[in-house]
Structure 1
Amino acid sequence: MKFIKKHWSNILFFAFLALLVFPQTRMPIQVFVQRLVSFSPSEKDKTERETLNGYEWNLQRLNGEEINFSQSEGKVIIVNFWATWCPPCVAEMPSFQKLYDDYGGKVDFYFITSDESEKVKRFLQKNEYTLPVFLQEQQAPKQLRSQALPTTYLISKTGEMVIAEEGAADWNSKKVRALLDYLLNE
């Protein structure tokens, strides 16, 4: 008993490390930590913004329906690259769901993954997400390519890339909502 009292902090630390070794406990811990450290994404300075110059991009819905990204040209768009195995991706999904619930009819949302469709369907069902998820049939337009997951872009009606965020963020923040309202009224 004396040993435990003397070394309780070391025991807790090693127990925590042990939990991180096992995938069943590692993922929930990483998601929790990511949610704690997620802040509102930053808007790019107007002088640093790129303009999307190509909207030709074939995608496939989870039900197999094929669509082309060009259907969203002239609209406010959010494009998120994610995966079910990515803790930062999973961490930001609840904030995206809340944002989608309120802006889904006004903003075109694209949640792009390369995971297997059945795995994605199970993930969405388990978490009760109604987000519009797409599978890539070809490479994204040049300005929308990234090696990091998650990566999210907010694109204005004129194709201006207002936000290009790598890593988890709080997409349901007042700042993002105010920016979306502004872009929708342009």
Structure 2
Amino acid sequence: MIQKNNKSNNIISSIFLGLAIIGFLILWLKYGGRSVYKSNSNDISSIYPLLAGVSLILPYLFYVLLYKRKLKHIGKIKKIRNENEFEIFILNKSKKTVMINHNSEIEDNQWSVFKIKKNESLFFNNGIIFKLDKNNDLEIEDFKNQIIGLGEEDLKKYNVPNYVNWAFIIAKPNEGDITS
């Protein structure tokens, strides 16, 4: 499925690039290149090559600027895992921005993956604490009942990357499913 997507993306990219090159050649020949035929008239027909060239270049620019940026987040990510490092997917559905360890934040309806090592903790400003003990077991302190654990069906629903060890949603207080 991903290879098919990559092939179609490459074909689309090649088509847009080819059209952009043709558009550039039209503009260059009409306005920038040395040509035997140069129109000095100011009639409306002299704008047609400009419109044609720009309309052939713009789809490629939009593709590069908008679509390519999204491709970084799509697809399976293969990572080399450090044995002492684990990753936790957190989706914030609490309707508030949540601060983590005083240096990261997740806005409402945003997600992030956090790395945690043995004997480390993640401290959230809403009272949640994730701890990794010496046996690499994840301990959760959630006194406001805000954490929802994600199961197999939910992983696909929320587009959780396949390399994470645990996945959770931060909900509003008293809407979680994990008790301390």
**Shared fold, TM over 0.5:** no
The structure with the largest alpha-carbon Rg is 2
Question: Which interval holds the TM-score relative to the shorter structure?
Answer: under 0.3
TM-score relative to the length of structure 1: 0.24
Identify, as 1 or 2, the structure richer in strand: 2
Higher RCO (C-alpha 8 Å, min separation 6): 1
TM-score relative to the length of structure 2: 0.24
